[in-house]
Amino acid sequence: MKRLFCILVIASLTLALSGCGGGGSSPPPPTFEARILSNPTYDGDIELASNVYILSPNSPTSVFAGIDPVTGSETRAFLNFSLSAVPSNAFINSAKLDLFIDSFNSVGITIPIRIELVSFTPPLVGSYYDRIILPPLEKVTSDIFLSDVNHHVLIDVTPLVDKAQLLGLTNFQIRILEDLVFVNQGLFEINDATTSKAPLLDIIYQ
């Protein structure tokens, strides 16, 4: 009986030690990647010129954002990504927005930009340009450089995807505009036509 009791005590101690940092800890949960192209049917831009909203045509080959340094008109780009590939309860490790810059028109070499998470019902209407009518839910800032022309630009949008998940949004919709904190006016063009250059949202989650 004493021998059986000793065996039970030893087995209990072995189990306890294995659960206390003895090399038996559970492996971290696996991570997954979702690479999501924007939907050109819902993408577009809205220009405000002489108090008139001018919308880009359906399924544009490119969208613009920024302030034209010649005319002073401002254009805001809108991109739409489906979040159906990402579970609603997923933890977002990181999210990168990949943009291919086709052109850059500025008096300087940098255009400061603001990327805002928004939520709207397609198709685009002129009033979506207005940040009061369509308020931002979250935002990040970045810069576009003259040297970015004909190159891919990666922008960290993790806070925006986090917010979209928190709100239970089924689409990741963003508005891109010049950050008016600065005075350096500039207009840049985002490719929205070919698969290899179209806007891409790369999400790592678990």
- What are the extents of the domains in the chain? 37-205
| Contact yes or no for 104/191 (Cβ under 8 A) | no
Give 23-36 as a 3 state SS string: CCCCCCCCCEEEEE
Q: What residues pair up with 13 in beta bridges, in sequence order?
A: none
Alpha helices in the chain (DSSP H): 2-18, 158-167
Q: Tell me the one-letter amino acid at 194.
A: T
* Biggest alpha carbon–alpha carbon distance for the chain: 96
The reported pTM is 0.86
- pLDDT tens track, the chain, 206 positions: 333 333 333 333 333 334 444 455 788 889 999 999 999 999 999 999 999 999 998 889 999 999 999 999 999 999 999 999 999 999 999 999 999 999 999 989 999 999 999 999 999 999 999 999 999 999 999 999 999 999 999 999 999 999 999 999 999 999 999 998 766 799 999 999 988 999 999 999 99
Beta-carbon count within 10 A of 154 CB: 12
Distance in angstroms (rounded) separating the CA atoms of residues 172 and 160: 8
